[in-house]
Amino acid sequence: MIDPRAIEAALATVYDPCSVQANAPLSVADMGLIVGLEVSAAGEVRIRLRPTSPWCTMIGSILQGIEGQLGKVEGVTGVTVEIDSASVWSEADLSPEGRRILDGARTRSRAIRPVRKRQWQEHIPASGEA
């Protein structure tokens, strides 16, 4: 029998590449991307995964990460990851830990580069323009 905690621990080591790039590394578990998990008596693990958007270009990397990490779990004989395109992800799907990480990254970002109200309406001079 495969220890469910080992599967959870493995999934916690697979990070969404976009969140890593944004300096707010979130695992697929913390992001709430896992919508289904089945483990057969023979050790076959089947994961249903929702992408963050229908246009997610990094989904292949995430799939490989899940397959690789779950393949290391003792007792796992195979891993199948299916994309659940019918399920729509939103920030509401974040785990409490994921929300804490994201909120911390946003706070750090605002401290470095504060955003002013209606900043997008200001004219930014082009190069050489006074």
Average pLDDT over residues 122-129: 65
**Predicted local distance difference test score (pLDDT) of residue 68:** 97
**Predicted local distance difference test score (pLDDT) of residue 114:** 72
> What mean pLDDT value characterizes the chain?
89
For the chain, list the domains and their CATH numbers: 4-89 (3.30.300.130)
Of residues 14 and 24, which shows the higher confidence score? Answer: 14
Give the whole-angstrom CA distance, residue 5 versus residue 42.
Answer: 18
The fraction of the chain above a pLDDT of 90, given in percent, is 65
Q: Is 42 helix (H, G, I), strand (E, B) or coil?
A: coil
Average pLDDT over residues 74-90: 93
**Predicted local distance difference test score (pLDDT) of residue 124:** 65
Give the whole-angstrom CA distance, residue 86 versus residue 77.
Answer: 28
Other Cβ atoms less than 10 A from the Cβ of 95: the count is: 15
Instruction: Report whether 15 contacts 29 (CB < 8 A).
Output: no
Q: Is the pLDDT of residue 119 over 70?
A: no
**Predicted local distance difference test score (pLDDT) of residue 123:** 66
Its pTM stands at 0.80
Burial (Cβ within 10 Å: 0-12, 13-18, ≥19) of residue 46: middle
**Predicted local distance difference test score (pLDDT) of residue 121:** 67
Average pLDDT over residues 1-22: 92
Give the whole-angstrom CA distance, residue 23 versus residue 109.
Answer: 9
**Tokens standing for residue 99:** 């929300």
